[in-house]
């Protein structure tokens, strides 16, 4: 199957969770795991990858936690895919033409390049502020399923309030 | 990396090879492997998948071989990926069998769904007749390469 890994699926949900909170909100990793029903160890690893990619920021100590490193409107789904998957390259000859000696004359190679761009452009256009704005259906669904945990640092907005 | 498997890469090349020939031409699997520089056992498995999907058909015996089961105008790159990858669905939550409990309300699911539709639509527009049209330089490059591959290679270390 051509698709994203489970890590990327979870990473998008982690970023969405933070984007649904008030700007600057910091939450413990355990809260995200609980709200979004994700395995804690897995979330820890994903947060590490997203911090390294500059999507999230962490602070230690009391009042610490995970937050978005930038405003949600500056974070795209494409960045999350880049952080978790290393990017989109529909075929290996897209990222490195040297893998095939005939790539320059190959009509299929240029099609993989075009399709890769179509997908990349779309993913870059999906911003987390837009996803979070539509959270009015989604957030109550999460809350119904899982009891609310602690949210530190800032008052949550929307359905989490 | 979001990408296709090596099988799909090879499958596309194999179908392109057949699409470049006169309609209805049958060729043997070893011949395709040689011209397209694909490993023969791998090619055999891929042919099996493509036959099952109704993209190729095979005929045994003398004069037998494989050919396109329908005109190249009716075979798209999406058809190949569906046959070999088992589908183009960006996230597992979009598959019928195991829906997420949040299903319809999930905002990211919608984005994965839109991305999947976009990619599928794009791949469906790429049919093999178009690829053949873009192929003359490519065919020449392959023939040249295959001819080179046939020349005996002098080895410095004798094979035991």
Domain residue spans of chain A: 6-86+128-160
Check: CB of residue A29 under 8 Å from CB of residue A47: yes
Residue B53 included in any domain = yes
Q: B101 falls in which pLDDT band (50, 70, 90)?
A: low
More confident residue, A115 or B134: A115
> Which of B102, B112, B131 is closest, CB to CB, to A107?
B131
- Contact yes or no for B115 and A90 at CB 8 A: no
Residue B14 included in any domain = yes
Helix or strand run (H / E) with residue A56: strand A56-59
CATH number at residue B29: 1.10.10.10
**pLDDT at residue number A150:** 39
**pLDDT at residue number A161:** 33
Mutate to test the interface with A, among B10, B108, B120, B142 (most CBs of A within 10 A): B108
Residue B68 included in any domain = yes
- Contact yes or no for B145 and A101 at CB 8 A: yes
> Which of B4, B108, B122 is closest, CB to CB, to A16?
B108
Q: A2 falls in which pLDDT band (50, 70, 90)?
A: confident
What is the spatial distance between Cα A25 and Cα A27, in angstroms, rounded to a whole number? 7
ipTM field: 0.80
Q: A61 falls in which pLDDT band (50, 70, 90)?
A: confident
Q: For the domain with range A6-86+128-160, which CATH number is right: 3.10.28.10, 3.40.1350.10, 3.30.540.10, 1.10.10.10?
A: 1.10.10.10
> What percent of chain B clears pLDDT 90, i.e. is strictly above it?
50
What is the spatial distance between Cα B127 and Cα B130, in angstroms, rounded to a whole number? 6
For range A101-125, the mean pLDDT:
89
- Contact yes or no for A88 and B2 at CB 8 A: yes
Q: How many domains does chain B have?
A: 1
Chain B, residues 112-141, CB within 8 A of chain A, namely 112, 114-115, 118-119, 122-123, 126, 131-132, 134-135, 137-138, 140-141
pLDDT for residue B58 is more than 90: yes
Residue A39: CA count within 13 A, CB half-sphere: 6
- Contact yes or no for B91 and A110 at CB 8 A: no
- Contact yes or no for A88 and B3 at CB 8 A: yes
Q: Which residues contact B34 (CB under 8 A, 6 or more apart)?
A: B146, B149, B150
Residue B102 included in any domain = no
Chain A nearest C-alpha distance from B38 (Å): 12
Residue B99 included in any domain = no
What is the spatial distance between Cα B29 and Cα B37, in angstroms, rounded to a whole number? 12
Q: B116 falls in which pLDDT band (50, 70, 90)?
A: very high
pLDDT for residue B121 is more than 60: yes
Q: Does B56 touch chain A (CB under 8 A)?
A: no
Which structural domain range is residue B20 located in? Answer: 6-87+127-141
């Amino acid at each position: 199957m051509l698709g994203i890994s489970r890590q990327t699926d979870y990473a998008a949900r982690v970023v969405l969770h933070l984007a649904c909170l008030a700007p600057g909100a910091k939450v413990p990793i355990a809260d995200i795991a609980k709200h979004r029903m994700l395995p804690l160890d897995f979330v820890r690893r994903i947060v590490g990858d997203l911090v390294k990619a500059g999507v999230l920021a962490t602070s230690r100590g009391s009042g610490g936690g995970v937050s978005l490193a930038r405003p949600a409107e500056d974070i795209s789904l494409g960045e999350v895919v880049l952080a978790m998957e290393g990017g989109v390259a529909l075929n290996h000859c897209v990222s490195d033409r040297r893998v095939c000696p005939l790539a320059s004359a190959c009509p299929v190679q240029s099609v993989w390049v075009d399709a890769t761009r179509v997908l990349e452009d779309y993913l870059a256009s999906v911003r987390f502020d837009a996803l979070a704005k539509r959270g009015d259906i989604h957030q109550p669904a999460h809350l119904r399923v899982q009891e609310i945990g602690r949210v530190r640092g800032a008052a949550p907005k929307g359905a989490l309030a | 990396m979001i990408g296709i498997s090596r099988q799909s890469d090879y499958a596309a090349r194999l179908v392109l090879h057949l699409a470049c020939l006169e309609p209805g031409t049958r060729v043997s699997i070893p011949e395709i492997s040689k011209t397209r520089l694909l490993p023969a056992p791998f090619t055999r498995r891929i042919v099996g998948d493509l036959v099952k999907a109704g993209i190729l058909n095979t005929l045994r015996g003398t004069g037998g071989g494989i050919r396109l089961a329908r005109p190249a105008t009716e075979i798209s790159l999406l058809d190949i990926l569906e046959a070999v990858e088992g589908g183009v669905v960006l996230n597992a939550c979009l598959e019928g069998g195991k829906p997420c409990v949040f299903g319809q309300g999930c905002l990211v699911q919608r984005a994965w769904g839109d991305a999947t539709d976009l990619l599928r639509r794009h791949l469906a527009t790429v049919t093999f007749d178009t690829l053949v049209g873009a192929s003359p330089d490519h065919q020449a490059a392959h023939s040249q390469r295959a001819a080179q591959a046939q020349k005996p290679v002098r080895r410095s270390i004798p094979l035991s």
